[in-house]
Amino acid sequence: MSLRLKLMAALLATGLATVAIVGGLSYMGLTHRVDEIRREQASEHFRSAMTAYFGKYGDWASANRAEPFDHFVQRLNGGPGDGGPPRPRPALHDAGPRPGHPPPPPPPPGSEPPFRFVLADADFRVLLGAGVFEPGEALPADIRNTTHPITVSGRTVAHVVSEGLFIPSSQDRAYLNAMRSSLLAGGLAAVIVAMGLGLLLSGGLSRRLQGLTGAIRAMHGSALQQQVPAEGKDEVALLARAFNDMSTRLAASHAELQESNRKVLEQAAQLRELSVRDALTQLYNRRHFDEQASTLFKQAMRHKRPLSLVIADIDYFKRINDQYTHAVGDAVLRQIGEILRTHMRLSDLVARYGGEEFVLALPETGGPQARALCDKLRGLIENYPWHTLHTELRVTMSMGVCSDLAAGSADAMLRKADVLLYRAKEAGRNRVCHI
């Protein structure tokens, strides 16, 4: 069930329960109050009539012999027999027919008295039992405290106890029916109001919660910076403000985390690069070259493509260090690394192999092409203006080139290239030897 339907059902149930409780309590209270009023009125009428009855005849036995109480009440109230119009009868007793008198006619339907009354004499002996006590029976002590005395000439001649169930008259029933109709109309109005309020409140609440739900879904889709309307001071507004604050903080934290990750990745890349680079020449180091050369050899064998590996060595480098200082020697190494790096193809690999030795991997390059490239590099090194570092400085390089994939591995090709390098040195240096 949706939140809107739940809210409407709750409001409807609340409205109906309120009408039922308030209406039921009001109806019960009104009925009880009408009962009390009718009881008091009937009791007062009965006592007044009984006071007149005793005042006229003196005592109960004399009064009953002279005239039944019912006839006396009818005559007293202007009923049939005195020429006046009939009036509502007061509460009647249940004495039954009197000796020497015909029984009174039964009351017409709907005219039953609403209460019955117990009548006792001055000594609390029952005269009229109202169906509860027998005539002549003594009233219990607890009931004696609830009686109303009937006095004639300052003397108590009898006591009256009222009890019974309220029997509404036609006017009472009409009034109570009107009240029930009003309660039903109020219940129907409560249903309509509850449904209207439910539609109104649930509509606004549903829209606000749908906005929150949409924003949460957007955040789940990585759009962390979300804002929803947060007007008002109710719980939904507090929730919306808390959500907006959370979204802002989360987006800021995510941005900081991304920046931190970017820096970490950059630093990791720099560390990886530093781990494979020679600090002096900024060329790749021996470890990286060995790994890549092995991969290039396997690719060349798999695809049956040419590959050449080169070992180069600076001629008389120890003499340069000894004669022109190690600082000049380091400058020579850096410059040769720059010459090799700037005159190689992007697919080629060049590294400092150790000391004054350099290595080159030339994929897709056969022997003649590799020898021509190395001879070009040798000439660039020989003709570089080394006097800018020192007036008497002269630098040359010898190279050994191996293009024989039949050697079986990159290491074997490098060993062959190393043999060719020493052959170039033995042949007078500043030259390229190839096989």
Q: For residues 161 and 281, state if they share a domain.
A: no
Residue 207 lies in a domain: no
pLDDT at 411: 96
Residue 326: give its domain's CATH number: 3.30.70.270
Query: Could you tell me if 135 and 129 are in contact, meaning their C-beta atoms sit under 8 angstroms apart?
Result: yes
284 exposed, middle or buried (CB, 10 Å; 0-12, 13-18, 19+)?
buried
pLDDT at 106: 46
pLDDT at 87: 41
Q: Which residue has the tokens 């290595």?
A: 359
Q: For residues 12 and 137, state if they share a domain.
A: yes
Report how far Cα 218 is from the mean position of its chain's Cα atoms: 16
pLDDT at 88: 41
CA separation, residue 237 to residues 7, 103, 210, 243 (Å): 18, 81, 13, 10
303 exposed, middle or buried (CB, 10 Å; 0-12, 13-18, 19+)?
exposed
Rg, C-alpha atoms of the chain = 62
Residue 175 lies in a domain: no
Residue 191 lies in a domain: no
The token pair that represents 262 in the structure block? 């970017």
Residue 181 lies in a domain: no
Weakly modelled stretches of the chain, pLDDT under 50:
81-112, 164-165
pLDDT at 8: 65
Residue 309 CA to residue 403 CA, distance in Å, equals 7
Q: For residues 100 and 31, state if they share a domain.
A: yes
Q: For residues 238 and 330, state if they share a domain.
A: no
Residue 418 CA to residue 206 CA, distance in Å, equals 81
> Which residue, 242, 275, 308, sits at the end of a domain?
275
Residue 195 lies in a domain: no
Q: For residues 421 and 282, state if they share a domain.
A: yes
The residue segments making up the domain with residue 261 are: 224-275
The pTM assigned to this predicted structure is: 0.47
Residue 430 lies in a domain: yes
Query: Could you tell me if 109 and 124 are in contact, meaning their C-beta atoms sit under 8 angstroms apart?
Result: no
> Concatenated DSSP letters for 197-209?
HHHHHHHHHHHHH
Q: For residues 166 and 134, state if they share a domain.
A: yes
Question: In a 3-state reduction of DSSP, which class is residue 349?
Answer: strand
> Concatenated DSSP letters for 161-190?
EEE------HHHHHHHHHHHHHHHHHHHHH
Torsion, CA 246, CA 250, CA 251, CA 255, rounded to 10: 160
Residue 390 lies in a domain: yes
pLDDT (tens digit per residue) in 216-269: 888 877 787 888 887 887 777 788 888 888 888 888 888 888 888 888 888 877
Angle, helices 3-57/170-220, rounded to nearest 10 degrees? 160
Instruction: Say how many domains are in the chain.
Output: 3
Q: For residues 243 and 286, state if they share a domain.
A: no
Other C-beta atoms closer than 10 Å to the C-beta of 17 total: 11
